[in-house]
Amino acid sequence: MTHQPRSVADQAERSASTIQITLEINGVTRTLDIEPRVSLLDALREHLYLTGTKKGCNQGACGACTVLCNGERILSCLALAAQYEGLEITTIEGLSTTGELHPLQAEFMEQDGLQCGYCTPGQICSAISMVREFRNGLPSAVTRDVSEAAIEFSEEEIRERMSGNLCRCGAYVGIRAAILRTFQSEVMP
């Protein structure tokens, strides 16, 4: 089967089916012409070539595609790029603005919180937001007493709060240790 080149009419129809959006990605404003149904994940990877965010299940079940939107974690495979116009998106590539690793990235390496590394960008983005959620007093399903002023940042809390991020290699012990050590050092906002 040979492929025919697109006709001018086909090309015009395609451009009529695209929209122009402006996204704030890692502190840089980027304008894209995309189809309205393009996910944020595909916009990042295929249009902006930010390949640190990974496509795992593409169904919102594994967490590999986790990025930060205005500091909160989202699954970029379930989000339409057009929904995030005007919001601040941070990917794994944007965590460090100084040229050095984010403290949690360094701790992941120190604590052997990764093996193949495929899930690591999503794990790190999720953990950064999870710590913010915790510090803001948001309880989890395992929080013993939600009326207490201070919730203990425990292994059980980390396990529950990170349960949406899967690691096929099973590096969970190192992941939890990295999160706990970074949290205890108070270098993570």
CB 103 within 8 A of CB 188: yes
The domain locations on the chain are: 17-94, 103-185
Specify the pairing of strand 66-69 against strand 88-90: antiparallel
pLDDT attached to residue 6: 54
Please state, in angstroms and as integers, the Cα–Cα distance from residue 150 to each residue in 128, 132, 139, 143, following that order: 19, 14, 10, 10
The CATH number fitting domain 103-185, selected from 3.40.50.2000, 1.10.3720.10, 1.10.645.10, 1.10.150.120: 1.10.150.120
**Residue among 179, 24, 54 nearest 108 (CA):** 179
DSSP-derived 3-state class of residue 119: coil
> pLDDT tens track of the chain, all 189 residues?
444 555 555 555 555 699 999 999 999 999 999 999 999 999 999 999 999 999 999 999 999 999 999 999 999 999 999 999 999 999 999 998 788 999 999 999 999 999 999 999 999 999 999 999 998 888 888 887 766 666 788 899 999 999 999 999 999 999 999 999 999 887 665
pLDDT attached to residue 112: 94
Could you tell me which CATH class the domain 17-94 is placed in? alpha beta
Tokens at 90, concatenated: 């941070």
pLDDT attached to residue 1: 47
Confidence (pTM): 0.87
pLDDT attached to residue 111: 95
Identical fold between 17-94 and 103-185: no
Provide the CA 67 distance to its chain's centre, in angstroms: 2
